[in-house]
Amino acid sequence: MNLFKKSKVLASAVAMMLGVAMIAGCGSSDKKAEDTVKPAAIEGTVSASGSTALLPLLKPAQEEFQKLHDKVNINIAGGGSFTGMNQAAEGSVQIGNSDVNLPNDYKDKGLVDHKVVVEPFVFIANKELPVNNLTSAQVVDIMTGKVTNWKEVGGPDQAITIIHRAKSSGSRATIAEKVLKGAEFTDKAIIQDSNGAVRTAIASTPGAIGYVDAPYADQTVKTLDFDGVKYSPEAIISGKYTVWSYGHMYTKGEATGATKAFIDYVMSPEFQNTYVEKAGFIPVTKMSK
């Protein structure tokens, strides 16, 4: 019994030590991440987090950049646009990737915007649907719930099912800004939590409509023309097709060192003209405005 009493004391000491060790462990790794931002030479660690839509683009950027600069270590994580902006504002990552413009709450946090790519969006519908084109007014009527049957927009007598993204989604924010222009989405919609899931659900639901990042629109669904314009990179560059947004990389204050080098690499013509188009995005360098 005596042993047990003593052991209690010892055990709590061990537990405390474990705890302290853990906290200390976390602390030191945080510091390390901060320290690496400072050196001016191109070496160190760059962490980025945020938009999942930008991931397929930044992965090859990371690989190519590390081939050029073998002393730089780049980590890219997902988590969502707001996660990225938050963590960049807190300083826990150097780069916050985001699909959306800086919201008002973030304006005072000292984040610097780097527009690195153009992300096009397309409206997609179930393949069986005979409708090929929707005007922006029709899209607004559908998305706000004013029109609930395809016959009202030139289709068959079939109920419209909206399948799209959650309220926190960057894609949804873009559509709200570029197409709905202040009108509110109806709540009568199926919500899926990723581009891929939206596409799958639309492909299997008759009369379904939604939107995805253009690279996700494949053979399983029908890509709708918007205001009579078929989506193509050229249509965006010429300004005819208006449903797109910039992909942003936010840094806390002006980027320096390896972070700056990495962003510069992403924006360089050699990257923009190769991988960006391959990933289904459009190079910012091609946008005149």
8 Å CB contact between 191 and 208: no
- Which helix (H) or strand (E) segment holds residue 62: the answer is helix 55-68
Nearer to another protein, 192 or 259 (CB): 192
Interface with another protein, residue 105, by CB under 8 A: yes
Binds another protein by CB under 8 A, chosen from 197, 229, 237, 284: 197
Nearer to another protein, 8 or 59 (CB): 8
Query: Cβ neighbours of residue 60 under 8 Å, at least 6 residues apart?
Result: 275, 278, 279
Residue owning tokens 């942003």: 248
Q: Collapsing DSSP states into helix, strand and coil, what is residue 209?
A: strand
CA–CA dist 101, 103 (Å, integer): 6
Binding mask 58-97 for another protein (x = CB under 8 A): --------------------xxxxxx-xx-----------
Query: Cβ neighbours of residue 42 under 8 Å, at least 6 residues apart?
Result: 69, 71, 72, 257, 258, 261
Tell me, by CB under 8 A, how many residues bind another protein.
43
Binds another protein by CB under 8 A, chosen from 44, 96, 170, 233: 170
Stretch that binds another protein, among 15-23, 36-44, 223-231, 281-289 (CB under 8 A): 15-23
8 Å CB contact between 277 and 237: no
> What are 251's strand-pairing partners?
95, 112
Binds another protein by CB under 8 A, chosen from 117, 134, 139, 189: 189
Binds another protein by CB under 8 A, chosen from 1, 3, 157, 269: 3
Question: Which residues 243-282 are close enough to bind another protein by CB under 8 A?
Answer: none
Sequence-ordered strand ranges (E) for 51-204:
72-79, 95-98, 111-125, 133-134, 161-164, 190-191
Least distance from C-beta 244 to another protein, angstroms? 19
Interface with another protein, residue 193, by CB under 8 A: yes
Binds another protein by CB under 8 A, chosen from 75, 204, 273, 274: 204
The binding site for another protein (CB under 8 A) comprises 3, 7-8, 10-12, 14-15, 18-19, 52, 78-83, 85-86, 105, 159, 161, 166-170, 184, 187-193, 197, 200-201, 204-208
